[in-house]
Structure 1
Amino acid sequence: MDVENLSGLQVDRADPSDWAALAKIDSVAAAGDHTRRDNIRHWCEQGAVLMARDSSEPLGYSVLEYTFFEQGFVTMLMVAPSARRRGVGARLLTAVETVCTTTKLFTSTNVSNHPMQQLLQRASWLPVGLLHGLDEGDPELFYLCPSTRLRDATGTGG
Structure 2
Amino acid sequence: MTMIRQATQQDMTAICRIDAIVLGNTSRSQELGESVAAGDCYVAYLDTDIIGFVVMNQSFFKQSFIQHLIVHPQYQNQGIGEDLMLHMEAVCTREKLFTSTNLSNKRMQRLCHKLHYVQSGIIDNLDPGDPEVIFCKQIRRRLPKTYPSKVQTI
Gaps in structure 2 of 5+ consecutive residues:
146-154
User: 2:100, 2:143 → 1: CA distance?
Assistant: 18
Q: In the alignment, what sits opposite 1:127?
A: 119
Give 1:20 deviation, angstroms. 1.1
Give 1:26 deviation, angstroms. 1.6
Answer yes or no: is the 8 Å Cα contact 2:22–2:73 preserved in 1. Answer: no
User: 2:119, 2:134 → 1: CA distance?
Assistant: 6
Q: In the alignment, what sits opposite 2:4?
A: 11
Q: In the alignment, what sits opposite 2:150?
A: none
Give 1:39 deviation, angstroms. 1.4
User: 1:73, 1:83 → 2: CA distance?
Assistant: 23
The two structures have a TM-score, normalised by structure 2, of 0.86
The two structures have a TM-score, normalised by structure 1, of 0.84
Give 1:74 deviation, angstroms. 0.3
- Identify if the C-alpha distance between structure 1 residues 30 and 69 changes in structure 2 by more than 3 Å, giving closer, same or farther: closer
Gaps in structure 1 of 5+ consecutive residues:
1-6, 152-158
Two-structure CA RMSD over aligned residues (Å): 1.7
Structure 2 counterpart of 1:77, from 52, 69, 77 = 69
- Identify if the C-alpha distance between structure 1 residues 116 and 66 changes in structure 2 by more than 3 Å, giving closer, same or farther: same
Give 1:28 deviation, angstroms. 5.3
What is the aligned-residue identity percentage? 30
What is the total number of aligned residue pairs between the two structures? Answer: 143
Q: In the alignment, what sits opposite 1:43?
A: 35
